[in-house]
Chain A
Amino acid sequence: MAMTIVEAKASQKTKFAVIDCDIHNAPASAEELRQYLSPRWRRYDETYGARAQYPGAAYPRLHPSAARDDSWPPGGGRPGSDLPFLQAQLLDEWQIEYGVLNPLVGGSGRNNPEYAAALCQAINRWQIESWVEPEPRLRASIVPPSEAGELAAQEIDRCAPDPRFVQILLIARTQELLGRRKYWPMYEAAVRHDLPIGIHFGGQAGWPITGAGWPSFYIEDHVGMPQSFQPQIISMIFEGLFERFPGLKIVLIEGGFAWLAPLMWRMDRSWELMRDEVPHVKRPPSEYVRQNFWITTQPVEEPAQPSQFVELLDQLDMNDRFFFATDYPHWDFDAPDQALPSALPAELQRAILAENARNFYRF
């Protein structure tokens, strides 16, 4: 197929500053990450391999590597693996002021917890040395071995002193519900360093995405991802996480948000009726959502009537808690100048595109 590579040009496409809170960088090859493993874990990796609960998500997903077709670096390698190309195609193209890296490299889901910890350490060192060091617009997310709470806390403690780490990255489909006690040491470390926990679309813990087994089609996984976010929010609230860790900050990344207001209504009513079962939950659940949760925009839900999007925001009442995200280089990328409905007031667009994130993350 003949393709002309159109050279990316810097252009002032949006009227406001842009901060992108969901960028997926990737190693060009498995070897690139292995270089950051100690000899012991390098040998383990070569001898026993990944060993995860679930051998891996099926690809392609609509597009090869689930990426924009135009995001394959001309010099080779996977989408998101070439810093100069990412700079040109994303950061320069939309004059993005800061970008938060969320590498989906699968370090945390390994069955061997010590190996998971070694892999996460490799991922975190790789982020700093290969991405954040040479490109000061980028910030990193700490990838912790999240299924082993104590080890996750250790990795957070190791990384947090470097201010270029601005959050801790979890994946929505975990082995247990995120309110449960095995994860608490990780939350303790997050609060200790005042770092938010980002929970991103995806995961390989081995559970089906639905309550009734595995769906037939990719489209069901894609559409159904809120099913993996909702129980995490419900669990974190009803386990009393935000009474135990009032300073805990949760960012919901790529889970959508049109479903969140009805979930709050449902949680509030149930709590009014059954609060004696969970007496540690002292306030209406919606108050914890509005106090401890933030949301990234992509994929921006697209109601049939633009006015319905404005209603949706009214229902949520969380306008100061939305962060813009592109999801680059994935195929459901949101362009900064196109993603937000033009019906939104200019001040709100400015807040969502950059200012909310600027006030929240330690850039």
Chain B
Amino acid sequence: MTEPLYSLSISQLAPLLARGEVSPVEVTARLLERIKERNGELNAYLTVDEAGALEQAREAEACLGRGEAASLTGIPLALKDVMVTRGLRTTCASKILENFIPPFDATVVARLRREGAVILGKANMDEFAMGSSTENSAYGPTHNPWNREYIPGGSSGGSAAAVAADLCIASLGSDTGGSIRQPASHCGVVGLKPTYGRVSRYGLVAYASSLDQIGPLTKEVRDAAILLNTIAGHDPKDSTSVPQAAADYTEALGREIHGLKIGVPREYFGHGLDPEVEAAIRAALKTLAGLGADLIEVSLPHTEYAVATYYVVAVAEASSNLARYDGVKYGFRAEGKNLMETYLNTRTQGFGAEVRRRIMLGTYTLSAGYYDAYYKKGSQVRALIRSDFETAFKACHLIACPVSPTPAFRLGEKLADPLTMYLSDIFTISANLAGIPGISVPCGFSSQGLPIGLQLLGPAFGEAEILQAAYAFEQATDFHRRKPPF
């Protein structure tokens, strides 16, 4: 054993655990120790469940002893703090849920537990998943392990940083407009957003219900497939989860991609794309072509409306989803002289600036007299964006493009300019609006040594195909093997 335990991936660690060469308690303890030592530098975790994790590790050990190992037995994971965990504080990085202890487990959490996973703790994020930098956390920003002056991306910045910095074996995040793929790209890890409806949203605290989707952030593509195997599938508690059975997503890994038609969207390579990012993506396309893929140009004509559409639809849903935080039932309450004052004080003091901004935007777009011009129009444009992809996928199997127009930016750089911040999601947002799956896989580094990710998008329920292509690309390159200087 040359590599430290904490740096292993799921697929590296699982056989060691199965053979009894290392024990779940040993791995968990080692990670808890590393989190204790190093989390302060990154602020990747908001809550570390030391006692719970060790308890789960001991159970995993007993399971292994009885020869009852499941697919994740003894694997220590981190969860974005937007998935509820029974008895374990879940804050959504908001003051308004500062001391909120959920009475139930999210379906994904229950599935992870069933497969024997060890939950180390809850990862930092933008408050209620609203943001692209994890700077909108009420508990301070997360730092990028590749350079602590830089943002890790967001909103699943804590989950991505924890994976990149070996503060967990893998993690789960959520993606509403790029919140898994963009931080994965900025932190040099793999991030998969499944098809809308593939993974249950039950227990995922809602930001924009028609866009939110849970997915894995991992050190390598195979791990993303392994985690997806556990979390995907129909959930009767989520009416929007699809009844279609999930596949074994590891099956297609290793199959060659010779003859795979990969579409390159014309609209994604224009103004605003950082030259270093473009160079890395072009090189990645060449690699894919070298593996036998056919590159063809495709068009997604409504791309320029994606950001505007997103900021109409998402904020409208958010304004309604966040109405429940009123200080009456749980979480933070700021007392007032009467009911109205209590509402106003609670929500003014309990929510951060970006959340308040989106609630106000969403309230406006749903208001009488504006609904047709905004929400209704937004829903119509959304249908056009979806049909763009349907048309494109008639000509190609997958689409390859950048994840983010730039590498990670400096902490604080865009905080004062929300519009510029919103535009950084331009390449990821469309997939959420269309409901299709997408993956970010490491494909290079900027001259400053910051990671760059390649995005592969597939048609609805095309997870197996994008994992297959991402895996082929990963195996042909070594970007994923590099570790941050942390």
Q: Do A and B come from one complex?
A: no
A-to-B contact residues, CB < 8 Å:
none
